[in-house]
Amino acid sequence: MNDNIRNLRMLLLTHFYIFKGTFSYRLSSVFFILATLLNPVISVVIISSLYAYANGIAGWNYFQLLALSAFSTFVMGMALYLMNPDDLSKDLKRGKKINRVMLLPLPMWFVIFTSFSDVFMLGSAFGGLALFLYAISHTSIGLINGILFVIAAISGIALVDLLMGALSLLAFKFLGSAGWTGWLFQELGSANSYPLTIYGSLGLLLFSFALPIGLAIYFPASILLGKFSAYYSLGIVVISVLTTLLLYRIFKLTFNSSYAGGKS
């Protein structure tokens, strides 16, 4: 218990110093945040344009789709804030940061969530959150759905990070630069900003099982907006948490078996 409190304190302190370091270039930082804030603005532009011509897209009304898209921006923003896959991939090849952090007496989750943080993505996350809150204020939400949604959302952010981490580990085996993980997750975030049913059964299966980002975005948002029954929603939350734990195990085992110290 004491260890967990100490680790959590260390996590907050580390992020505080990451902030201080990042904001040493003030002008650039302000523009980075403005740039990431454009993500929710783009969501509003796209969805408003779509609904100028159609009333319900794939069974979702304007505010529901706005909520889904904003939630996608929030989850991807938070996940990238906690860990930028580009930085992790590059560091796995060069071993600059990871070699240093691995020497500290800290658990694996601490290493993941502190070493490759992208502070600027908080602009996107907070912008997405503000838009999400605005959108859901125009919809009706049940208490049970709200509780299940919060669990699914927290688990979902961890799931996205661990999936990014697991895929970034491919840098141990393949590809000279491995900068593709950032591009992959950018596209996955875009795809999950809309109801997965528009991609047909294949898309639904792809985003639920092969690259389970749907468990982090589409399904939690659907639970909140009452698209599923209570039992179905509970089942999704359980699957989401189990998938997150499984990904953590895969990441930990693969990392430990592939990592070779300052070899690079």
- Binding positions for another protein, rule: CB under 8 A: 25, 27-35, 38, 42, 45-46, 49-50, 52-58, 120, 174-180, 183-184, 186-187, 190-191, 194-195, 198-199, 203
Q: Are 85 and 118 in contact (CB under 8 A)?
A: no
Nearer to another protein, 183 or 209 (CB): 183
Neighbouring C-beta atoms of residue 53, cutoff 10 Å: 7
Nearer to another protein, 32 or 81 (CB): 32
Task: Find the shortest distance in angstroms from Cβ 233 to another protein.
Answer: 24
- Structure tokens that stand for 212 in this block: 């389970």
Nearer to another protein, 192 or 244 (CB): 192
Task: Find the shortest distance in angstroms from Cβ 131 to another protein.
Answer: 16
Question: CA 8, CA 3: separation in Å to the nearest integer?
Answer: 9
Task: Find the shortest distance in angstroms from Cβ 159 to another protein.
Answer: 20
DSSP string, 87-148: HHHHHHHH-HHHHHHTTSS--HHHHHHHHS--TTHHHHHHHHHHHHHHHHTTS---HHHHHH
Task: Find the shortest distance in angstroms from Cβ 106 to another protein.
Answer: 29
Question: CA 41, CA 48: separation in Å to the nearest integer?
Answer: 11
Nearer to another protein, 57 or 78 (CB): 57
